[in-house]
Amino acid sequence: MRRRICVTAGLLLALVAPVLQAADEVELPKVHKQGGSTYVTGGAGEAQRKALFKIANKFPIQLIFEVEGEAADISGVKVTLTDQSGNALIEAVSDGPYFYMNPPAGGRFIIDAEYNGEKQSKTKDLVGRRYLVLEFKFHTK
């Protein structure tokens, strides 16, 4: 009797383990390239967030978008990364509340984010092995 219980428990574990492992394995987001810069965007939902967090260390500029007073994930934010000479390195639209960028080199950057006609701009220096995590909070209309 005890052997039958152990065998049954082993079979159940063998059936459930791949399902649990598959739930933990999430497809990594697509890395986009513009000029010498790369970026990823997304994070709508728990699975996408986990996938982005796995590769976050490869992107020294990390943007987080939210709308004040709303819990829903935001997407459709127009992002522009400009260097100190005024050259646009990245021009893209977010697919979720997270937007990670890796410019070709460090320096001073202007990050513009626009959502529903509201534009915000931040100028930041990226030097050495630092990470910039910038939050953009938009107002409801």
Q: Which domains does the chain have, with CATH numbers?
A: 29-138 (2.60.40.10)
Evaluate if residue 16 carries a pLDDT over 90.
no
Evaluate if residue 9 carries a pLDDT over 60.
no
Compute the mean pLDDT over every residue in the chain, rounded to the nearest whole number. 86
CB atoms within 10 A of CB 138: 20
CA 36 to chain centre: 19
Q: What is the pLDDT of residue 129?
A: 81
What's this model's pTM, rounded to 2 decimal places?
Answer: 0.80
Shortest CA distance to 83 belongs to which of 100, 61, 63?
Answer: 61
Residue of 16 and 87 predicted with greater confidence: 87
Q: What is the pLDDT of residue 1?
A: 56
CB atoms within 10 A of CB 126: 18
The arithmetic mean of pLDDT across residues 96-114, rounded, is 96
- Return d(Cα 120, Cα 115) in angstroms, integer: 9
